[in-house]
Amino acid sequence: MDNWLSETELEGALVKLIPLTHAHKEALVAAAADGELWQLWYTSVPSANTIDAYVDFALAEQAQQRSLPFVVVDKETQTVIGSTRYCNAEPGHRRLEIGYTWYAQRYQRTGVNTECKYLLLSYAFETLGCIAVEFRTHWHNHPSRNAISRLGAKQDGVLRNHRLESDGCIRDTVVFSIIQTEWNTVKKSLLYKMQYPG
């Protein structure tokens, strides 16, 4: 299980997920500028001031086999439109989390998130052999909570006083998951949503 999270590319009809590198910094800041996403207080999206630390942390986690970060590329325009990653990976327990997901504002509430999650979940369950895939989000991030529920994930619970934030606020974290035995039904639902969006 030493190389459980080997670099890979995942490709759908709308997007391609390719491994994050330092070369993507400028493109990620440009994508986040669409909607000034770094202003969202309940999530972490890089700005020009934070992009170095954002990428350095993601790649350090990858080097420790805890994470596999991607940039999301719009296949039609060949531009970077966001980022996502496998994180908090536990190879010995065949579990991981899908997180750090964000998209340029014009790609939100389109088919992009459904396809990205389909690609990530398919690879997690069908190639990596995961027994569970987790999603975590801030209690106040209602758009994210709704999007995770729409995928077919079930809420496991709320971690109260889970994190101390840099400004002294305390974060409650909502935990969702999809388990191996649910994957076939979730997959059927996602395929239907991609075929009949709306």
- 40-52 residue pLDDT tens: 667 788 999 999 9
Within 10 A of 41 (CB to CB), how many other CB atoms are there? 11
So where are the chain's domains? 10-195
Q: Which two tokens stand for residue 146?
A: 């709704």
Give tens-digit pLDDT for 125-173: 999 999 999 999 999 999 889 989 999 999 999 999 999 988 899 999 9
Beta bridge partners of 68: 86
CATH T-level fold of 10-195: Aminopeptidase (3.40.630)
The one-letter amino acid code at 57 reads F
Contacting residues for 1 by C-beta, under 8 A, at least 6 apart: 91, 92
Q: What are phi and psi of 143, to 5 degrees?
A: -60, -40
pLDDT over 80 (residue 193): yes
Strands 132-138 and 95-103: parallel
**Whole-number pLDDT of residue 167:** 87
Give tens-digit pLDDT for 35-91: 777 876 677 889 999 999 999 999 999 999 999 999 999 999 999 999 999 999 999
Q: What 3-state DSSP class applies to 143?
A: helix
Residue in 146, 158, 86 with CA at minimum distance from that of residue 116: 86
